[in-house]
A and B are shown apart, each in its own frame.
Chain A
Amino acid sequence: MQHYDDSILRRSIDEPEHTDASMTAHLQGCATCHARHEEILANARIGERAFSGSLPAVDSARAYANLQTRPASAKRPAAWYPGLAGLAAAAVLVCALVFTPLGGFAAQMLTIFEPHQFVPLAMSATDSEQMRLMPSLKAFGTLRHSPQRALQDRERPVSLAHAAAVTGLTPRGFSIAPRGIPARTQTYLTESSSVAFTFSAAKARAYELRYHRNLPPMPPGLNGSTIRVTFPSAIVRAYGNIPKSAKDLRAHGLDNMVILVESHMPSVISTGASLKTLANYLFAMPNLPADVAAQLHAITDPSRTLPIPLQIDKQTASPVQVDGVEGLALGDQTGLGAGVLWQKGSVIYAVVGSLKKSEAIALADSLR
C-alpha cells in the first residue's frame, strides 16, 4: 500500500480544500498515515499556538515617510565598534555630555549647540574611521578645562537628596519597575564643569606648515574669539547590575542595567563669533565625511539641535512622543539595548539600558 508523504499530509492541514475523498478514506483506513497525520496536526497546532496573537496595526504611509528621511550611505559598514561599542557608546556619549567634555571631534561638535531637540547623526564605520583623521581642536586654538573632581570621586554613589541639592533639580523616578532588572539602585552626581576654546589663526597656520595639511580659512572675527561651554551638574541613577567602576561599565556595557540621567542644559557663550560662523568653519574641516557634513548642514536650527552620533546598521533612531514631548528613541541591532532621549522644560533626560525600545519608552513615560 502506498502512503502519503509528509508534504501532502502537512499541506492538507493548511489547505483542506485540496483534500479529496480518496485521501480522506485512506487516512481513515490506514493506521500508518492516520498516526502520521495526527502527529503532524499536533505539531502544527503547537506552531499556531506559539505564533498566535493579533498583529499590530501599522501606518505604512508614516513608515514610508520615515524611510525617505533616512540618510543615504553608499557603503555597508564593516563589523567595527567604537571604543565603547554600539549603544553603550551612545549612552555614555549622552552621559559624557554632562560628565566631561570628550577629546574627540564628535564631542567637540556637540559642544557648539545648546540642545533643545535631538536628531540622529547617522555614521558608518567608515565615517568614524575617517573622522579620526580630522585635525583636533588644538590644531587651530587653545582648549582650557575647568578643574574637575578626581575619577574616583566621580564614581562614588551619593544620596538622591544630596544630588538634588547640588544640581537644583527636582529628581523624578520611575513609577514602574524596569522589567527583569534587579532591584538595586545607586545615585551618582557630576559636578558642573566648563571648557573654553579660543580660536587662533596663528596656530592654524603653524599646523598647516608642520603637517602639510590645508585647514579652511578662518573667517573674519573668529581669530581670538572664545567659546565657553558650561556643563551643569547631572544626576545619574543606575538600576540593576551596577558596575563597580567606569572601566567595568566600558567592559560590560549596560548588561542587565538601566540608567536614568537628568541634567539642566549646557550653556554656550561666545565672545564674538556667531554659532553659524563656528559651525560653518568646523564643518569645512578636512576628513569630515560628505554625508555627515550634509546631515549637519541640514539642521535648520543649529543653535538648538543636538546631533546624536549613531552607527548605521548597528543602531536606529526615531522620533517618539514621550513624557508629553517629542524625544528620540534609540535602538540597537547588536543586542546591547535601547534608550530614549528628550528634553522637558530646561531639563534633559535620558533612559538607556538593556531594554527593548518599547520598554525604554514605557519607563520614560512612567517618570513622576
Chain B
Amino acid sequence: MVAVSIAPSSSSLEALFAEQYPRLVAIAYRVLGDRADAEDVAQEAFVQFVRTGRQPEPSAPGWLSVAAAHRALNLIRSRKRRIARELAEFRLHRPLLREAQAAMDPLALLDRAQLQIVVRAALLRLRPRDAELLALRYGGSSYRELAQALGIDTHQIGTRLARAERALKKEIEHATLR
C-alpha cells in the first residue's frame, strides 16, 4: 500500500491522534455499540481531518469529536432498515413491564443487546443536533469541551442537554411501549 504523506508534521498529528483517538472511539461506540465500527468511524474522522488540511491546534479536538459523532450517526441512519427490523423483532420478544414501572424506567429488564437496539432506534428519531449532543456527552465530553466543540456558551449546554434527554426518553418510550 502507498504510505500517505501526512501534513502537517507527523509528530504533531501523531500526538493529537494518541490523545484524541480513544475519545473518538468512545463517542462512536456510544452510538454504534460495536467496536470495529467505532474504530472505523474514528479513523475516518482523522482521515477527513487530514484531507481538509486542518492543523493540530486548540480547536482540533472539538472538530474531531463532532466529525466522529456525525459519522457515527450517519452510519446508523444508513442502517435504518436493519434497525427497523431489529426493533420489530425486539417488540415481539420484549420483557413485559407494568405501565407504572415502564413510566419510571422504560429500559428496565432489557439486556445489553436489547438496550442497544432501542437506543439506536431512538437516536434515529431525534433531531440531529440532539443526537449529536448526546453522543458527545455520553462519549465523555465535559461541558467545557462540548461548548468548544459546538461553538456555544457553556451556560447553554445544560439547557440543550436537558432537552435532548427529554426527547430521548420520549423516543425510548416510543420504541419500547408501542
Could you tell me the distance between the alpha carbons of A127 and B94 in the complex, rounded to whole angstroms?
Answer: 48
What is the CB-to-nearest-CB distance from A204 to chain B, in angstroms, rounded to a whole number? 29
Q: Which of A53, A55, A66, A255 has the most CB of B within 10 A?
A: A55
Q: Which of A47, A56, A72 contacts B29 (CB 8 A)?
A: A56
Q: Which of A14, A64, A70 contacts B21 (CB 8 A)?
A: A64
Q: Which of B1, B6, B86, B159 has the most CB of A within 10 A?
A: B1
Could you tell me the distance between the alpha carbons of A255 and B82 in the complex, rounded to whole angstroms?
Answer: 8
Given known contacts A46-B168, A51-B30, A357 and B36 CB-to-CB distance under 8 angstroms:
yes
Is A345 among interface residues, defined by CB-CB distance under 8 A? no
Q: Is the CB of A70 within 8 A of B47?
A: yes
Residue of A nearest to B47 (CB): A70
Is B127 among interface residues, defined by CB-CB distance under 8 A? no
Is B80 among interface residues, defined by CB-CB distance under 8 A? yes
A-B contact count (CB 8 A): 164
Is A49 among interface residues, defined by CB-CB distance under 8 A? yes
Given known contacts A10-B159, A67-B46, A68-B6, A56 and B25 CB-to-CB distance under 8 angstroms:
yes
Given known contacts A334-B78, A335-B82, A49 and B5 CB-to-CB distance under 8 angstroms:
no
Provide the main secondary structure of the chain B interface: helix
Is B174 among interface residues, defined by CB-CB distance under 8 A? no
Given known contacts A47-B134, A316-B44, A358-B35, A40 and B25 CB-to-CB distance under 8 angstroms:
no
Q: Is the CB of B158 within 8 A of A8?
A: yes
The size of the chain A interface, using a CB distance under 8 A, is 61
Which of A90-98, A218-226, A231-239, A290-298 forms part of the interface with chain B? A290-298
Q: Is the CB of B79 within 8 A of A335?
A: yes
Instruction: List residues of chain B with CB under 8 Å of any chain A CB.
Output: 1-6, 14, 17-18, 21-22, 25-26, 29-30, 34-40, 42-44, 46-47, 51, 74-75, 77-82, 85-86, 89, 104-107, 112, 115, 118-119, 122, 134, 137-138, 143, 155-159, 161-163, 165-166, 168-169, 172
A7-B159, A60-B18 are known contacts; what are 8 more A-B pairs with Cβ within 8 Å? Answer: A5-B159, A9-B162, A46-B168, A48-B138, A69-B4, A255-B81, A294-B2, A316-B40
